[in-house]
Amino acid sequence: MTARLAAVAAAHAHILARRRTAVALLALLPLAIYGALYRHSPHAVTVGGVASAFSAGGAAIFSMLPARAADQRLALAGYRPAVLITGRLIVLEAASIVISLITASVMIAGTRPAHPADVFAGVILTGIAAVPLGLALGALLPRELEAVLVLIGIAGIQITADPDTVISALLPFHAASQLLDAGGTPATFWPRPALTAAYSAILLAIAWAAWQHRAGDRRGRPGRRPGRGPALSVLRLRR
């Protein structure tokens, strides 16, 4: 199990490395948005922090869609869906945390908020929720364009909606945006990670169910040849 998990994680790290230009642009996007606002808006940290969802969620989409065919071969070779999703999740969450720390550090240095620890936590929680959201969108939608547009729409609504409205509370970055708000207090911290974890678990369940459905459809098609073994499948995934 551990060896297979490591192999899947390494393969998906290779996929992201091949798309490093797109990933780098996604990582710079929230900083660009923050930079355009930080001298003109009291909500620059909140907007920039929620915009970091584009980085983590976009990377998840770019990891999910190109690997569909390889995932199906790996499943035929005996790899469990939990191993495939967990291996991808490890790489994406690790990358998300690194990007979140850089983004939060720049925003704290520029704005000097009253509670910098809440800014770090808010940006990290945004990335944690964005990864399973990207995986779910990548599993549900057929192409990257549609998945990215939905991600942009969700993040955009979260940024523009009044935090006290029902629609804001139902979106995945609500808890993180409350921590990013410059008026937040440390006393409100602890419910936010729990809410983010619950939302992330629901999104992962959706991604897993969609992946299972697609894999089941592929296995049910006639004329499919069985997998040639996990080692060859992983090598194909890494190319």
Average pLDDT (52-60) is 92
How do the domains of the chain map onto residue ranges? 2-218
Instruction: Give residues with Cβ within 8 angstroms of 161, minimum separation 6.
Output: 167, 168, 171
Task: Report the predicted TM-score, pTM, of the whole model to 2 decimal places.
Answer: 0.83
Mean pLDDT (whole number) for 147-170? 92
Residues sharing a CB contact under 8 Å with residue 189, sequence separation 6 or more, in sequence order: 118, 121, 179
- pLDDT over 60 (residue 229): no
Mean pLDDT of 18-37: 90
Phi, then psi, of 201 in degrees rounded to 5: -65, -40
As to burial, measured by CB atoms within 10 angstroms (0-12 exposed, 13-18 middle, 19+ buried), residue 97 is middle
Yes or no: say if 219 and 212 are a contact pair by the CB < 8 Å rule: no
- pLDDT top residue among 2 and 121: 121
- Does the pLDDT value for residue 1 go beyond 70? no
